[in-house]
Amino acid sequence: MGMNKNTVLAYATWIMIIVGFSLIGLGAFRYYEVAGYGFAAVGVGFLAVAWVFNALKGRV
């Protein structure tokens, strides 16, 4: 069973959502200093890229 482009984008979207939420969680619960803001900002960036991957799923 081969994977087509939509399946690859779906897996990439889910992986990026998991990484994004974990980075936001690290920024909120582990690092209370300025580094926490950086972790949360990178997590939001991961979620934005995952949103783009999800939007591209039927078009590529």
Percent of the chain at pLDDT above 90?
Answer: 53
Return the exposure string of 16-29: e unless at least 16 CB atoms fall within 10 Å of the residue's CB, then b.
bbebbeebbebbee
The whole-model pTM stands at 0.83
Alpha helices in the chain (DSSP H): 5-25, 34-56
Question: What local confidence, expressed as pLDDT, does residue 3 receive?
Answer: 83
Question: What residue type is assigned to position 22 of the chain?
Answer: S
**Residue bearing tokens 């999800």:** 54
- The model's pLDDT over 21-59, given as tens digits with 9 standing for 90+, comes to 999 999 989 888 888 899 999 999 999 999 998 888 777
How far apart are alpha carbons 3 and 10 in whole angstroms? Answer: 11
Binning pLDDT at 50, 70 and 90, where does residue 7 land? Answer: confident
Question: What local confidence, expressed as pLDDT, does residue 56 receive?
Answer: 84
- Structure-token pair, residue 47: 């979620």
Q: Where are the domains of the chain?
A: 5-56
